[in-house]
Chains A and B, each alone.
Chain A
Amino acid sequence: MAQAHWTDRYVEDRARAAGPGVDPTEYQRDRRRDRAHRAAVTNEVLGYYGLRVKDWAGSKYLLSDGKGNTEIVQDLGSLWPAAERILGRPLDPLDPALRERMLDGALAR
C-alpha cells in the first residue's frame, strides 16, 4: 500500500486518532462519504474537460473521457497526470478559459 496522498490524510488521521476500540463501521462510513464527496467535487471540474471519475470498488477511481479512454487512478496525486495524458495538456486551474466556462456553468444553474 502506497503512502496516502496529502489530500487523503484527513480521514486516515481521524481514524488513527480515534484509536482502537472504535466501531470500524464508522470509519468505513466516513471514508465512503468522503470518497463520494471527492468524486462529486472532482467531477464538477473534470466535466469542463469532458472527463469523469467514478469510484471503483471503494479503493480506486476510474477516469474516463466518454470516448473509450479509461485510466485507473489511486488519488488526486495520480488523477491530474492521468487526465493530462488523456487530454494531451495539463488541466490548469488558472486558465482563463476554464474560469470563463466555470462562471458560465454557475450562471446556467
Chain B
Amino acid sequence: MPSPGKPAKRPVTVVTGFLGSGKTTLLSRVLLDSAMSDTAVLVNEFGKVGLDHHLLRRAEEKTVLLGHGCVCCTTRDDLVEALLGLLDEEGRGEIPPLKRIVVETTGLADPAPILFTVFSHPVLQHHYRVDRVICTVDAVNGRLHLDRNPESTKQIAAADVVVLTKTDVSEASPIDALHARISGINPSARILEAPFGAVDPDELFGDGAVDPSPSGLRPFDPIELGDGQHVSQTHSTSLTFDGPVDWTAFGTWFSMLLHARGEDVLRVKGLLDVGGSGPVLLNGVQHVIHPPDHLEEWPDEDRRSRIVFITRGIRAEEIVDSLETFSGLTGAKPQPLEANLRV
C-alpha cells in the first residue's frame, strides 16, 4: 500500500510448490504476456523447460543461518546479491524500471527465509516488499504430496494464492477434493485453476498494489474434510473480536506466542480493528512477520476484525482460550468464526 512521501517499493512475488507441480510451466506461460515484460525472474537454475525471458537471473539457493539458528529466520545471500544487482542495473538504466520480481523456489524450499531476507536486509527492505506467495499444487499428484510431505502443507499455509495445475489431465472429483483439502489447510488462500499452465496474469498478480483477494468477510460453507487424518496436525482458527483490539497488547501476546511456539504457527493473516480509521493488515509466515500495514480505511463495509491462524499441533481452542485470557489487556474478547473466511 503506497502512502504519500514513501517511494513505491518493488513487489516481490514468491512462487513455491513441489517438484514437478508446474512452477516453471506456469511461469513460462505467464511471462509470454506482454504485460509481464518489466518483470524480473529469479530462478534457482536455468532448467530444461526453456524459460525465455530477458530479465531472467539465476540465484542459487544459498542459505545463511543466523544467530539462534531458527530455520525460517535465515538470510538468502544469493537473493540479496541478485536483488541488489537488479537495483544496480536499474539505477544505471541498463534495464527498464522493474515492475515486479518473481522468485521461483526449489521444490522443497521454505518460503519464510525469502520473506525474512526482504524484510530484514538494511537496503532491500527499502526497495522491495513481498507482495504475495503463490504455491502451485499439481491436481494429479497433489494429494500424494500432501500425504507424504509435511513441506507441502507448509507451502500451502504460507501461500496467498494457490494455483491448481494440470487440471486438464485430472478428473473433476479429485480436483474438488483437493480444493476442499487446500481450503481446510489455509482458508485465507485464493485458489485458481491453471489447465495447461494457463492462468490470467491479472488474476495471478492483480495490479501489484495489494493482494487482490477479496478482503471482505466472505464466509462460505463449512468444509467437510474428506481425508481428515492427514490434516489433523494442522488446524486453522478463524476468529473476530467483539471490539477494537489494543495493538500494543496484541503485539505483546503474538510476539510471545511466536517466541514460544513459532515453529508451530505456520501462518497468520488478517485485518485487525485497532480503533483507527482503518485496520492493521497482519501477515506472517512462521516467525517472519510482514511489517504491519496500518491501512487508512477498511476495504469494505464490514469493519470487524477477521484473522486466521494456521497452526501445527496447536488446537483452535488453545488460541481462543489464550486470547480470551489476554482480553483484559487487549480490550476485546475473541469470537471464533464457524465458517471459514478469506482475508
Give me the interface of A with B, judged by CB distance under 8 Å. 3, 5-7, 9-10, 13-14, 16-17, 19, 34, 37-38, 41-42, 44-45, 76-77, 79-81, 84, 90-94, 98-99, 102-103, 106
Contact = CB atoms under 8 A, between A and B. Distances in A.
Contacts of A80: 255-256, 259-260
A76 B292 CA distance: 15
B289 interface: yes
B329 A45 contact: yes
Given A6-B292, A34-B248, A91-B260, A16 B6 contact: yes
Interface of B: 3-6, 68, 119-120, 122, 125, 246-249, 251-253, 255-257, 259-261, 289-292, 294, 314, 318-319, 321-322, 325-326, 328-329
24 contacts: A3-B120, A6-B251, A7-B251, A9-B292, A10-B247, A16-B5, A17-B5, A19-B5, A37-B248, A38-B252, A41-B248, A41-B249, A81-B259, A84-B259, A90-B259, A92-B260, A93-B260, A93-B325, A93-B326, A94-B314, A94-B319, A99-B321, A102-B326, A102-B328
B294 A93 contact: no
Contacts of A10: 247, 292, 294
A17 B3 contact: yes
Contacts of B249: 41
Nearest to B259: A80
Nearest to A17: B3
B122 A7 contact: no
Given A41-B246, A41-B329, A9 B260 contact: no
A94 B260 contact: yes
The majority secondary structure among interface residues of chain B is helix
Contact of B255 (A76, A84, A94): A76
A81 B287 CA distance: 13
Contacts of A16: 5-6
A106 B119 CA distance: 38
Contacts of A42: 252
A103 B326 CA distance: 9
Contacts of B5: 16-17, 19
Given A7-B248, A42-B252, A94 B259 contact: no
Nearest to A4: B291
A6 B250 CA distance: 12
A5 B254 CA distance: 13
The 8 tightest CB contacts between A and B, nearest first, are A80-B259, A7-B251, A92-B260, A76-B255, A6-B289, A90-B260, A99-B325, A19-B5
Contacts of A103: 325
A92 B247 CA distance: 19
A45 B252 contact: yes
